[in-house]
Amino acid sequence: MAFFRTQERTKERFSLLLLDLEEYFFEQHTAYHVTSRSKKERKIRGSLKVCSRSVIFDPEDLTEPIIKIPLRDCKKIEFVEKENNPFNEPKPPIMSISCEQVIFIKESNVISPYRNERGTNKVTFQLEVWNKTEDVVQTLLQLHRASCLDKLGDQTAMIAANLQSRLARSSFDKNCFQSVAEKPHMECAVEMVMPLVSNPGHVCITDENLYFQPLNGYPEHVIQIKLHQVRRIYKRRHGLRPLGLEVFCTENDFCSDIYLKFYNTADRDEIYYYIATFLENHVTEHTAESYMLQWQRGHLSNYQYLLHLNNLADRSCNDLSQYPVFPWVIADYTSTQLDLTNADTFRDLSKPVGALNKERLDRLLSRYRGMPEPRFMFGSHYSSPGYVLFYLVRVAPEHMLCLQNGRYDHADRMFNSIRETWKNCLEGATDFKELIPEFYGSDSSFLENRLNLDLGRKQNGRSVGDVVLPPWASDASDFLRKHKTALESQYVSEHLHEWIDLVFGFKQKGSEAVAAHNVFHPLTYEGGIDCDSIEDTDQRIAMLTQILEFGQTPKQLFTSPHPQRITPRFQNITRSPSINSPISELSPASQSDDSSFEDLTEESRKLAWANMGSLKLISSHKIHKEAVTGIAVTRDGASIFSTSQDSTLKMFSRELKEFQRSMSFSNMALSSCLMLSDGKTVVCSSWDNNVYFYSIPYGRRQDTLMGHDDAVSEVCWFDDRLYTASWDSTVKVWQCAVNSSSSHKRSQFELLAELEHDAGVNTVGLNPAGTLLVSGCKDGTVFIWDTDSYRTLQQVQCHDGTIHHLAFSPDSRHVLSVGADSCMKVIDVQTGMVISSVRAEEEQRCFYWDGNTVLSGGKSGALFLWDLLSNTVTKKIPAHSGAVTAMWMNELCTSVITGGEDRQIIFWKLQC
């Protein structure tokens, strides 16, 4: 289990978990525990650990218990020199400790609750290196004085001063470098953070490695991480302060390779940015929005996406107060078969656990309404160190004993049954906990008492053993397999965004949280209180301890509704009172045996986009006197029409490789063109406020639509409707009856709607079904419209400056836009959220995309191939000598034509 990676570094039975919370292990010495039995002296060899609040003796003989003596219970600590024997041989000095309590741990080498022996005790130790004895005694006396101070704040300050003094007197041992050629970049004092404990030492980073050297040499002399193996790094909020740094050498594991806590933010940030330069994909690209886009399009599983969100929200398996949180997704723990085609099998993911039971919620809301400010609905949280260890006690017994002062919880309150735990989460007055990632992993050891721990007996007399599983699970591995299948199921995929809104999103705080019945104690929220502003040291430490142990709400990642996942077409999920299907995975709905041409075309498109990097230039032709503004092609591909700022529409023959016709409608620039579905008419927009219809068979202008008060910037067409965008701040919708059979009969135009904007409209586009329209303005605003009602669905301010081009994805879920600010942005149509944003090295002027990959034309004249899932340029192709201003792509995505400011059109072919 990844949770215990740090524990695997040592085989010692001593652990930092034997220390009290917030205690440090300073130094260790080989020593003997001297005991007297029947007047005969007995020496037990072992290691003496000097800690900030205790002395711990770890004997080599595993049958002997570990001895812990709290310094606050010590009455006297002495250095005793013994007289020489008759032969004048020196006798070793001893260290004598008189105390009121001795704690015995791991008796007979068994992990079990600690045994406390109270009463006056005298414990004697003899150090193997005699001349160290007096120094150790002086250290213990100093730490004893700190432990006996009345105020907790004074104790903490004195211990912290001792720690900083030790760190200042030591430094990283550069003899530990893997290579003599390594060049150190920086070194500073830090603490390595592990669940419930931290270990002080020094970090050193070179041009090849990150090293951590513990002050006490535990669990090993030095820990090394190769920088070229690092895949992810995160800044962390540790103890409510921006001091943490977590380093991962894997993509999807939720446990890091090292978690460091710095003593100042500047040191943390310097190492963070230094490591970032070694990452293949720069760290700033790992945003919630970029992961969201990958998840939406099926490139991340639900499990992987939740892990990434937890990481971004400061959740870490090394910090139990901010452990990764996962949802309960199944509500049925009583049936013999798990039916994942029945919606009643699942928990309502739109509600927090505390709101799932209406009767309990009504009681909580009644209390909430009568509560003084600041009010809260739930007095406990959905994630805390106690809840994490509640689930993991069978594999982390020492963590539980550390958290609970050497005791397990009462047997009836332990994690005994999945069904009973779920029931208590629904009905308990203070139980609102969610799950942890282990419930969706592959290691079932946390559900089984493989260590044969004595976890106590319940009131019914039964011992606490393995967790009782639901009837539908044959064993623990089967439970995890079905549980993870449920997490990845169609139902959860369609509703997981609702739970994300509650935990990481816009329903986490404020009025939306109140409306969603999702309000927890103020201390659980980031920024709920500034501990540094509390002057009383004891009060500040008590408040910090309460916050860390009570549970913390994740950092808010989204402030607007989270988009739904794009899911494949599955069989319908029905609500049914009977649960009798053994199906553990949903399967796609059966398709017709007859493969349609559209299916073949779709496969061809996917193949083409996968090979888009092999685009080859076929020929180039300079046919205009100014920049090309639009390209349209006849259905057979034989004739290419292009518009230009030189005011002409030109027809080029691909076969003859020369232009055959040139038409001028006015003395002002033409801004765009398109081919009507009849293949006989070209529509051109102009800066003279008009739209022109050109008849190919008759070779002349057929009609003119005078519809705007300023330049018409772009036009688009669907069925018999024409959409015209203009710098007069409108998009107009026209019903058009275009007459292509006669050169004399005029076409009919009826204005259906006028869509108002706050600035000039520079670009416009339709989704493939013609049900949605998107428009982009000169002020950087994107509008999404319903073409049936002409109602604004979304209005998003997403660019600084004019928008050059925008288009829907083939599935209509997203809009991609490029602007004068050199940014490329992906907008979720459903929510209006900007879910991906990348700043390019130059302005992108036009593009085509398939939802994941973008072929765009830049200001420099180059073509760029973008992978939106990683926000990286995968290929740059030299093309025009000026900006690429127009682009056309055929239906199969195998032929591309580009136009530029250099007055050329270039033909490209995909080499598959």
Structure confidence by residue, pLDDT tens digits, 76-123: 999 988 765 556 667 889 999 999 999 999 999 999 999 999 999 999
pLDDT over 90 (residue 576)? no
- Residue 781 located in a structural domain: yes
566 domain residue, yes or no: no
Q: Which of 107, 132, 167 is the C-terminal boundary of a domain?
A: 167
Q: Which of 550, 567, 595 delimits the end of a domain? A: 550
- Same domain flag for 358 and 249: no
Residue 594 lies in a domain: no
Residues 268 and 342 in one domain: no
Q: Which tokens in the block code for residue 537? A: 């040291």
Q: What would the DSSP string read from start to end of 357-403?
A: SHHHHHHHHHHHHTSPSSP-SBSS-S--HHHHHHHHTTT-HHHHHHH
Asked whether the predicted pLDDT for residue 449 surpasses 90, the reply is yes
Q: Are residues 754 and 645 in the same domain?
A: yes
Q: Is residue 572 domain-resident?
A: no
Residues near 201 by Cβ (< 8 Å), separated by ≥ 6? 167, 189, 190, 191, 192, 212, 213, 214, 215, 216
CA dihedral 331→333→337→342, nearest 10 degrees, is -10
The pLDDT of 127-155, averaged and rounded, is: 91
* Domain of residue 121, CATH code: 2.30.29.30
Range with lowest mean pLDDT among 501-505, 608-612, 669-673: 608-612
pLDDT number for residue 83: 65
pLDDT tens digits along 507-528: 999 999 999 999 998 888 887 6
Instruction: Please indicate, yes or no, whether residues 160 and 181 belong to a single structural domain of this protein.
Output: no
151 and 204 part of one domain: no
pLDDT tens profile 710-750: 999 999 999 999 999 999 999 999 999 887 666 566 778 99
CATH number at residue 383: 1.10.1540.10
Tokens of 494: 């369609």
Task: Return the SS3 of 789.
Answer: coil
pLDDT at position 740: 67
Write down the pLDDT at residue 588: 33
The answer on 394 and 539 residing in a single domain is yes
CA-nearest of 747, 664, 660 to 702 is 747
Residue 700 lies in a domain: yes
Q: What is the pLDDT of residues 243-302, one digit of tens each?
A: 999 999 987 677 889 999 999 999 999 999 999 888 864 444 568 888 898 898 888 999
**900 located within any domain:** yes
DSSP letter at 447 equals G
Task: Please write the tens of the pLDDT for every residue from 27-36.
Answer: 999 999 998 7
What is the Cα gyration radius of the chain? 35
Question: Quick check: is 299 in a domain?
Answer: no
The CA distance from 582 to 858, in Å, is 55
Supply the range of the domain harboring residue 463.
320-550
The band of 546, judged by pLDDT with boundaries at 50, 70 and 90, is confident
* Domain termination site, one of 242, 269, 286: 286
- pLDDT score, position 537: 67
Residue 535: band (very low, low, confident or very high) from pLDDT cuts 50, 70, 90: low
- Supply the mean pLDDT for the chain: 89
pLDDT at position 837 is 87
Asked if 833 and 759 sit in the same domain, the reply is yes
Look at residue 495 in the predicted model and tell me its pLDDT.
97
The answer to whether residues 412 and 450 belong to one domain is yes
> Could you tell me if 737 and 870 lie in one domain?
yes
Task: Tell me: do 342 and 279 sit in the same domain.
Answer: no
DSSP characters over 663-678 = EESSSS-EEEEEE-TT
Asked whether residue 137 falls in the same domain as residue 198, the answer is no
Q: Who has greater pLDDT, 473 or 540? A: 473
Into how many domains does the chain fold? 4
pLDDT, position 581 = 32
CB 576, CB 341: distance < 8 Å: no
Is there a single domain that holds both residue 144 and residue 251? no
The reply to whether 599 falls in a domain is no
Q: What is the pTM of this model?
A: 0.81
Strand 66-70, strand 74-80: pairing = unpaired
pLDDT digits (tens, 9 = 90+) for 318-363: 999 999 999 999 999 999 999 999 999 999 999 999 999 999 999 9
